[in-house]
Structure 1
Amino acid sequence: MPAVLKRVVVTVSAPARVQATSNTVLSAPTAGIVSGLRVVPGETVRPGQTIAHLTGPMVLTERARLAADLKSAQIRVSATTQAAAIEQQKFDEQLSTRDAIARAHAELDTARQLLVAAQAAAGSYTSLVEIGTSEPGVVTGVNAADGQYVSTGQALVTVASSRGLHVVTNLYGSDAASVTTGMKGVFLQEGTGAPVDVSVQRTSWSVIAPGQLEVWLDTAPGHSLISGTVGTVSLTASDGKRLAVPSAALILDGGIWWALVRDKGGNHRRRVIPGPSEGGWTSIRQGLAPGERVVTQDAYLLFHQDFATRYQQAD
């Protein structure tokens, strides 16, 4: 049969899951004892929700120190304010100088700056010992327990964001080679009957698992996803007509694909590079020209009919 131009539709199906681009890890900003940690994996959290507090001797000591610094700064502002007022009154009575008034106001400005810094430090530490979420999401991991002592930077809770969700699947072999950015398909969530339209946003080869292609897909406008759900994704591509031959004409020998091309001189071996297949036809990326005739019946037998001439039997 001749090699012909034929539209070959590529369909790739694989298990998929819904996940965010990155998870949020809530860590302990300072050392302390975890208090009020009640969330469990699978629980939904809202923006601004307090997940836990940090308590313990270290936290109490730091709170006391910051409170003392704040009280000292307030007293200093009060004293310098009174001193500046007294100096102004003395100047009005011609008992002081402009330099003295300037020094009094400079000390007042310094005291006010110290007060602002002390207030900021106290407020910042209060926010540090309150562990909260900034985005809505679902708890995927809890790495600490209520009453546990944690060190600075230790992970407490992992939250998968409910924003920026994608459908993610892993592909291998010829399926991975046929996927391109922009390829469209559908995602069918497990337990539902309504497929969601998706398209390939980006792909990346795994460093940990050689040969694994991770595919990230976006949903069409108007569709919503739920983090953590699983299902099946099916991708379909048809980029016009390709040169194709019946799949029975292809022979795999020594890890290389061949075809027997027939002309007036008989059958000749031709190395080819096959592409996607559909319905008994396989596209040919390289090795054949339109109209060239290939053997489709008993191709393997004819390809190996001179086997004995190429190998010598052992003594």
Structure 2
Amino acid sequence: MKNLNRLLLISTLASALSLTACSKKEHSHEDGEHEHPSHEEGHQEHGHGHGGGISVTHYTTEAELFVEYPPLILNTESAFAAHLTWLKDFSAVNQGQLLVSLTGGGHPEERVVATVSQTAGIFRPVMKPQYIGKRRLQLILTDGTQQSVHDLGEVEVYPDAKTATEHQAVAEEESGLIAFTKEQQWKIDFATAPAVTRAMRDSVSAIGVIKPRAAGQAIVTAISTGIIKSATNDFPHLGQKVLAGQTLAYLSPRLGGDADLAALSLAIEQASITLDQASYERKRLESLLTLEAVAEKRVIEARQQERLAQANLTAARKRLATYQGGEGGIALKTPISGTVVAVNTTAGASVEAGQSLLQIADLDKVWLEAKIPESELSRIQTLTGGFFSLNSLSQAIALEIGKNARLVAYGGLVDANTRTVPAILEFSNPQQQLRLGMTVNTQLYTGVAQNLVAVPASALSDENGQSVLFVLKEGESFERRVVKASIRDGDWVGISQGLIAGERVVTRGAYQVRLAATAPAAMGHGHAH
């Protein structure tokens, strides 16, 4: 068996050494077309590592490197297939240059530079080592002002293929791994992240509703029966921004009894005549007073009658103006600044006394009212905050009391009907994205925390009641792993069993990886050769 493995390895190395004699064409299984690379590229792009080949996955803060290359042999061309991905968005590196460097071992540095091949993300430098022994291998990506240094540590440069074969261990391929190539990853919304150990805060589930603050809402009502008139050419509408004290509309009270517009006009005429008479009488008495023909008391009384007549005329005119055009009527003003969130009437509509006409709310700061089940109350030691999401797929919004939230109330009475206790948190509503009345999935922190291996919540999927992750074993190989999920804290989920810190999991694109395992044909091969 050992001899058979050795023969297979020698055969593979011979294939690697003959790369320059191979066809200088690139072939994609996905579209079946052939492309002709430039003369200076002059090497094939390979898929997954061949037996006896070396493959490495390496990360920096900027990029991921997945490289495949044959053992390094003196004076022999070794073709590298380096797949480079920007970690900021997991896109293929499509420009720049890749430097391959061999240093150390008491020999001069050897280096070779390559630009991106015809397949974005893949660089194909060819190194022809001139010195044997242990050397330090580095692959350095430079793209404008960015640089990503991938130090792969010490490697051995062998004097010949036979020696390389004798020293290379034949790696047994793990069974059950899922092949999902870099080319496939680059085409979809894909990302991975390492599992980390972090303090995970325990929480309890609650029913949450987004509500306006107590002082952050106002309802404009009709103070009497009447007709609504617009204060401007634009009647209040949903989403309109208003300021405290702003007149939004006018209410023209409805005439009662036998009153009509003619009667109001007659009242003005009568008040005007009464005022004229009072003015004439006051002037007459003032003239007699200068002749000392009347008592001063009568003049004072005449002046008072004139003022009273003037007041009656003014009131009569206002009563008539209420039912005429312009700005007549009772001004309906908003007591707070905010946004119009409800309009229950229109210009010209008849309304009844006490009817709700407009609702104004301050959406910059809102309340999360969470109703905690009675059975969960004993778990809460100290209410320190919580998090909520609009649905199971949306990103969680974390609230921490004393940082970005304020505890308004934590009820001391269990509701007799719902058997819940309310907790109210006040927080800012950026860009007013949250709408009043929304029901949200809410978790409230209990004040208890423990250190756990954790992954982003998006990495976890439920398969028939099992918590499943897809773990990156190598650049293009993944393992489906059943784990035991524990505490969820915002966008993180603790894993109590089945995963260790540092292992990298798929956080976006897990569905496509699962599809590659169950129906490879549906995903296509996608690897350039």
TM class by smaller structure:
0.5 to 0.7
2:329 and 2:301 map into 1 onto residues whose CA distance is 38
Partner letter of residue 217 of structure 1?
Answer: L
Structure 1 residues 213 and 31: alpha-carbon distance in aligned structure 2, compared to 1, 3 A threshold: same
Candidates 43, 66, 70, aligned match of 2:239: 43
**Identity over the aligned pairs, expressed in percent?**
16
Q: Which residue is equivalent to 1:99?
A: 297
Partner deviation per Cα, 1:8-46 (whole Å, 9 max, x = no partner):
x75234444142327433223333344558555x52330
Q: Which residue is equivalent to 2:339?
A: 138
Secondary structure at the aligned position of 1:171 is classed as strand
Deviation at 1:84, TM superposition (A): 1.8
Equivalent pair of 2:252/2:322 in contact (CA under 8 Å): no
Q: How many residues align?
A: 229
Equivalent pair of 2:322/2:330 in contact (CA under 8 Å): no
Candidates 3, 6, 12, aligned match of 2:204: 12
Structure 1 residues 133 and 170: alpha-carbon distance in aligned structure 2, compared to 1, 3 A threshold: same
Partner letter of residue 31 of structure 1?
Answer: T
Q: Which residue is equivalent to 1:308?
A: none
Partner letter of residue 160 of structure 1?
Answer: A
Candidates 406, 421, 429, aligned match of 1:213: 421
Structure with higher RCO (Cα < 8 A, 6+ apart): 1
Q: Which residue is equivalent to 2:410?
A: 203
Structure number, greater radius of gyration: 2
2:410 and 2:320 map into 1 onto residues whose CA distance is 46
Q: Which residue is equivalent to 1:25?
A: 219
Partner letter of residue 355 of structure 2?
Answer: Q
Structure 1 residues 170 and 70: alpha-carbon distance in aligned structure 2, compared to 1, 3 A threshold: farther
Within a 5 Å distance, the mapping from 1:120-139 to structure 2 comes to 128-139=329-340
Deviation at 1:144, TM superposition (A): 3.6
Secondary structure at the aligned position of 2:309 is classed as helix
Equivalent pair of 2:225/2:351 in contact (CA under 8 Å): yes
2:364 and 2:269 map into 1 onto residues whose CA distance is 43
Secondary structure at the aligned position of 1:202 is classed as strand
Q: Which residue is equivalent to 1:311?
A: none
Q: Could you state the TM-score of these two structures normalised by the residue count of structure 1?
A: 0.53
Partner deviation per Cα, 1:82-122 (whole Å, 9 max, x = no partner):
42222111111232222322322332343355456557767
2:271 and 2:364 map into 1 onto residues whose CA distance is 43
Deviation at 1:236, TM superposition (A): 2.8
Within a 5 Å distance, the mapping from 1:150-229 to structure 2 comes to 150-162=351-363, 165-176=366-377, 183-187=383-387, 195-196=398-399, 197-204=404-411, 205=413, 209-219=417-427, 223=428, 226=432, 228=435
1:107 and 1:56 map into 2 onto residues whose CA distance is 30
- Structure with more of its chain in helix, by fraction: 1
Secondary structure at the aligned position of 2:298 is classed as helix
2:396 and 2:363 map into 1 onto residues whose CA distance is 22
Secondary structure at the aligned position of 1:12 is classed as strand
Equivalent pair of 1:186/1:198 in contact (CA under 8 Å): no
Secondary structure at the aligned position of 1:138 is classed as strand
Partner deviation per Cα, 1:212-239 (whole Å, 9 max, x = no partner):
22222234xxx45646255555433449
Equivalent pair of 1:25/1:157 in contact (CA under 8 Å): yes
Q: Which runs of 5+ in 2 are unaligned?
A: 1-200, 449-485, 488-529
Partner letter of residue 154 of structure 1?
Answer: Q
Equivalent pair of 2:365/2:429 in contact (CA under 8 Å): no
Equivalent pair of 1:77/1:115 in contact (CA under 8 Å): yes
Partner letter of residue 445 of structure 2?
Answer: T
